[in-house]
Amino acid sequence: MDDGKSEGPAGQAKQDELYRQVAGELGAAMDRLARAYEPDPERRRDLLQDIHVALWRSLALFDGRCSLRTWAYRVAHNTATSRVIRRRGAPELVSLDELDAAAVPQDREQALDRDRAMDRLMALIRRLGPLDRQIIVLYLEGIDAASIGEITGLSSGNVATKIHRVKKVLIARFHEQAERNG
Amino acid sequence: MPLDEIRRRVGDVEKHARRRDRGLYACAAVIISVWAAVMWWLPDLRVTAAISMAAACWIAGQAYKRSAARSASVDLAPVPGLDFYRASLERERDVHHSLPVWFVPPVVMSTTAIVVGFLMTPRFPHGPALFGVVAWIACGTCAALVVGIRKHRREAQRYQALIDALNR
């Protein structure tokens, strides 16, 4: 396995420089991304550290074929997706259709922080499968459909359709939860 | 995150992997030593010991090979999300799918050798105690294998369903 070390001190310096640049530009976005994957603050910190480590290691291979931002988002989402796939005993992830059709369980609803809209939204996002989750998180970061397509590997048209569907479902579920919470 | 902290974490991950490998080698060494002692001290159980040693070596080797293959390579990290997700699901499915294939035959072979060895050796008097021990070994192994195979088959099917959903 590649240990993520660049060849020679010059390569290492370039890797460090690229990392500093990404961390400076996207550090806050990475925090928000981790929030969309981990509700528990301890685990979220752990995930965030894993993302930074994966990012630094991957930058040894950065070849400029895509933008640094696309590269960083790919690495961050893929690191988080690995966790989702390997996690045991986690709530089952659902497709958009299932999330649309499923009733919101009362106890889960009570467990949510009722006063914080963002927490409720994140709790809904965390129930989505990795790809839908990636798309909506990137959309919430204000990234356009073409760039989301580049990051996820889907076509722009497909991304636009998915964003529309995810938004529609999340808005409906969000309002439903808000009404139940009074 | 400071770069020194990142380098420290990379070192920790490598240390953890080395520790896991050492644990695996230690287990294999203990099992092989025990069977080597059996071979030396109980010559009538030599065939049983040889088969069990081979099975232990095979399982340790496969576990090492597959645990290394399971960790996502840094090469795969920057690929588009869809490709990464599919590759990760396929890897997990293959791990669960192939586990019984490489794990079951050596365990069955080794257990059969132990059962036959115990029944054939004149060292243990043939009575209810011996038959009880042999039955316990055979039934316990069978039960563990059936539960394990079913669990891994279910997991492989779950991952396949996720892959099918991606392809739709």
Answer yes or no: do A3 and A37 share one domain.
yes
Q: Which of A38, A68, A90 is the last residue of a domain?
A: A90
Answer yes or no: do A133 and A121 share one domain.
yes
B113-130 pLDDT, tens digit per residue, is: 999 999 988 888 888 999
> Which residue of chain A has the CA closest to B90?
A85
Read off the pTM: 0.75
CB distance A49 to B1 below 8 Å: yes
Mean pLDDT of chain B: 86
Answer yes or no: do A171 and A99 share one domain.
yes
Q: Which of A90, A116, A138 is the last residue of a domain?
A: A90
Chain A contacts of B64, Cβ < 8 Å? none
Answer yes or no: do A14 and A64 share one domain.
yes
Q: Do A3 and B14 touch (CB under 8 A)?
A: yes
Chain A contacts of B6, Cβ < 8 Å? 19, 52-53, 56
Answer yes or no: do A123 and A72 share one domain.
no
Mean pLDDT within B26-36? 90
Answer yes or no: do A125 and A180 share one domain.
yes
Answer yes or no: do A55 and A110 share one domain.
no
Distance CA A135, CA A148 (A): 7
Residue B144's identity, in one-letter code, is A
Chain A contacts of B162, Cβ < 8 Å? 129
Q: Do A58 and B3 touch (CB under 8 A)?
A: no
Q: Which of A39-53, B14-28, B151-165 has the lowest mean pLDDT?
A: B14-28
pLDDT at A1: 40
Nearest to A131 by CA among A81, A58, A75: A81
- Is the minimum CB–CB distance between A74 and chain B shorter than 8 Å? yes
Query: First-to-last CA distance in chain B?
Result: 40
Q: Do B6 and A56 touch (CB under 8 A)?
A: yes
Q: Do B3 and A95 touch (CB under 8 A)?
A: no
User: What is the domain extent for residue A132?
Assistant: 92-182
Answer yes or no: do A66 and A147 share one domain.
no
Distance CA A70, CA A67 (A): 5
Q: If pLDDT is split at 50, 70 and 90, which confidence band does B144 have?
A: very high
Q: Do B77 and A77 touch (CB under 8 A)?
A: no
Check which CATH number belongs to the domain holding A164 and give it.
Answer: 1.10.10
* Token pair recorded at residue A125: 């996002």
| CB-neighbour burial class of residue B35 (10 A; exposed 0-12, middle 13-18, buried 19+) | buried
Q: What are phi and psi of A94, to 5 degrees?
A: -125, 155
pLDDT at B76: 64
Q: Do B73 and A2 touch (CB under 8 A)?
A: yes
Q: Report whether pLDDT(B95) > 60.
A: yes
Q: Which of A90, A105, A130 is the last residue of a domain?
A: A90
Of B6, B68, B88, the CB nearest to A81: B88
Q: Do B92 and A75 touch (CB under 8 A)?
A: no
Number of structural domains chain A divides into: 2
Q: Is the ipTM of this complex over 0.85?
A: no
Residue pLDDT tens, chain A, 182 long:
444 555 666 777 888 999 999 999 998 999 989 988 888 889 889 999 999 999 998 998 888 888 999 999 999 999 998 888 876 555 556 565 665 555 455 555 555 555 567 777 888 888 888 888 999 999 988 999 999 999 999 999 999 998 998 888 888 877 776 677 66
B155 in helix, strand or coil?
Answer: helix
Q: How many CB atoms lie within 10 A of CB A18?
A: 20
Answer yes or no: do A62 and A110 share one domain.
no
Answer yes or no: do A77 and A11 share one domain.
yes
* Residue A94 DSSP code: B
Radius of gyration (Cα) for chain A, nearest Å?
18
- Is the minimum CB–CB distance between A150 and chain B shorter than 8 Å? yes
Of A16, A20, A153, the CB nearest to B80: A153
* CA angle B145–B151–B157, rounded 5-degree value: 130
Answer yes or no: do A96 and A181 share one domain.
yes
Answer yes or no: do A85 and A14 share one domain.
yes
